[in-house]
């Protein structure tokens, strides 16, 4: 018994000694402390260091930027944030939110800026007109082109489908198990309200609108349609990174004339090019922050946004790297924004 206890005690002390030895040996390597000290002087000064470039401007502070879940918006946000951080010394806090929650944030003061707004007239009415907590900051320069699209192979081999008058003749070719015997018009994410149901009815088309429910449905359907040469008619929009992969072709609906879409129930014309705009929190704009001025001046074309979107979606760069790449190539545009503010 004594022997067993003694043996155990010896084993225990031996174990502890090994542990202690290892601890004392210290596996070496960079320590956390050294990393903290080397980081801290610059970390806090990330803003102040570059403030020399804009010493005449007011201090920027924190900007709460909402980032809505599509790649085009990410492109806008990445470029804006990069410019604001490096040239204006702002602290940009990005918040990944859907549109409705973003607008709500204007009211609670948690969101300062939305960089790309598609429609949402009801939210504009509520927060800009009624509650007056938000203001329209003008256009982003991007034109949203919405419409009905077909895959490239179909446009090439059967160009007649691009004419809406011929759609009824081909309705059965677009039929799927979801379209109740008629041709299928595939819609996507309900984040943008479409006129498609009214269009189908008023143009007397033998089609059913099938709610795909998400952008995933649209993109995957187009990919499959192109790969397997199936007939597909779906709602889609530009600017969108997917056009880098497949050049979808737009169907010609009756041309848009001013006032033809004021009554949503009677719409029988094509979607007009849509001027995307920016919205900001009223108090943020009146605060005189240089970031607000930059946001107001921020403007670029569909090609610009597509460039950055392609880097993010196709080249799989991080948004920050994609933004840096674009900014380096377009420094004059960026300077123009900063000068205008």
Q: For binding to another protein (CB under 8 A), which residues are involved?
A: 8, 12, 15-16, 19, 22-23, 27-36, 39-40, 69-71, 74, 95-101, 103-105, 107-108, 110-111, 120, 122-123, 126, 176-178, 186, 189-191, 193, 197, 209-217, 219-221, 223-224, 227-228, 241, 312-313, 316
Q: How far is the CB of 73 from another protein (least distance, A)?
A: 10
Beta bridge partners of residue 149, listed in sequence order? 234, 250
Q: How far is the CB of 146 from another protein (least distance, A)?
A: 15
Q: Could you give the CA distance from residue 150 to residue 247 in angstroms, rounded to a whole number? A: 9
| Contact partners, residue 306, CB within 8 Å, separation at least 6 | 239, 241, 243, 244
Residue with smaller CB distance to another protein, 170 or 244: 244
Task: Output 40 or 129, the one with its CB closest to another protein.
Answer: 40
CB of 274 closer than 8 Å to CB of 145: yes
Least distance to another protein, CB of residue 278, Å: 18
Q: Please count the other Cβ atoms lying within 10 Å of the Cβ belonging to residue 164.
A: 16
For another protein, the closer of residues 164 and 192 by Cβ is: 192
Distance between start and end Cα atoms, the chain: 87
Q: Left, alpha or beta for 259 (phi > 0: left; psi -120 to 50: alpha)?
A: left
Question: Around Cβ 285, how many Cβ atoms within 10 Å?
Answer: 19
Residue corresponding to tokens 């609906």: 253
Pair 106, 133: CB distance under 8 Å: yes
d(CA 185, CA 179): 8
β-strands 183-187, 207-211 pairing: parallel
To another protein, the closest distance from the beta carbon of 340 in angstroms equals: 31
Q: Is the peptide bond before 239 cis (omega within 30 degrees of 0)?
A: yes
Phi and psi at 280, nearest 5°, equal -135, 160
Beta bridge partner(s), residue 238: 145
For the CB of residue 313, give the shortest distance to another protein in the complex, in Å: 4
When the beta carbons of 31 and 62 are compared against another protein, the nearer one is: 31
Give the nearer residue to another protein in terms of CB position, either 49 or 264: 264
Nearer residue to another protein within complex by CB, 94 or 333: 94
Tokens 């980081």, residue?
39
Q: C-beta of 37: minimal distance to another protein in Å?
A: 10
Q: Least distance to another protein from the beta carbon of 183, Å?
A: 14
By C-beta, is 50 or 217 nearer to another protein?
A: 217
Cβ proximity to another protein: between 293 and 312 the closer is 312
| Nearest distance, CB of residue 141 and another protein, angstroms | 22
């Amino acid at each position: 018994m004594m022997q067993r206890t003694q043996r155990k005690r010896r084993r225990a002390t031996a174990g502890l000694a090994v542990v202690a030895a290892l601890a004392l040996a210290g596996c070496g390597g960079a320590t956390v402390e050294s990393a903290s000290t080397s980081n801290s002087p610059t970390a806090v000064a990330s803003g102040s260091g570059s403030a020399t470039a804009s010493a005449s401007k007011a201090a920027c502070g924190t900007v709460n930027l909402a980032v809505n879940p599509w790649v085009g918006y990410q492109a806008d946000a990445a470029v804006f944030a990069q410019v604001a951080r490096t040239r204006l010394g702002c602290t940009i806090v990005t918040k990944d939110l859907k549109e409705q929650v973003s607008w709500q944030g204007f009211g609670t003061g948690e969101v300062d800026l939305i960089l790309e707004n598609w429609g949402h007239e009801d939210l504009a009415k509520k927060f800009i007109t009624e509650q007056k907590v938000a203001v329209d900051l003008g256009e982003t320069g991007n034109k949203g082109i919405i419409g009905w699209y077909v895959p490239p192979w179909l446009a090439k081999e059967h160009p007649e489908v691009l004419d809406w008058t011929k759609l009824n003749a081909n309705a059965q070719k677009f039929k799927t198990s979801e379209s109740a015997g008629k041709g299928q018009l595939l819609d996507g994410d309900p984040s943008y309200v479409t006129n498609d149901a009214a269009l189908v009815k008023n143009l007397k088309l033998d089609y059913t609108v099938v709610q795909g429910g998400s952008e995933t449905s649209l993109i995957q359907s187009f990919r499959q349609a192109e790969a397997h040469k199936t007939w597909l008619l779906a709602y889609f929009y530009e600017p969108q990174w997917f056009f880098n992969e497949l050049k979808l072709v737009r169907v010609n609906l009756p041309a848009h004339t001013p006032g033809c879409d004021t009554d949503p129930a009677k719409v029988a014309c094509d979607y007009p090019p849509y001027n995307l705009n920016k919205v900001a929190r009223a108090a943020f704009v009146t605060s005189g922050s240089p970031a607000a001025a930059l946001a107001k001046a921020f403007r670029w074309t569909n090609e610009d946004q597509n460039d950055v979107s392609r880097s993010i979606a196709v080249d799989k760069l991080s948004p920050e790297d994609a933004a840096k790449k674009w900014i380096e190539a377009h420094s004059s545009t960026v300077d123009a924004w900063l000068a205008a503010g």
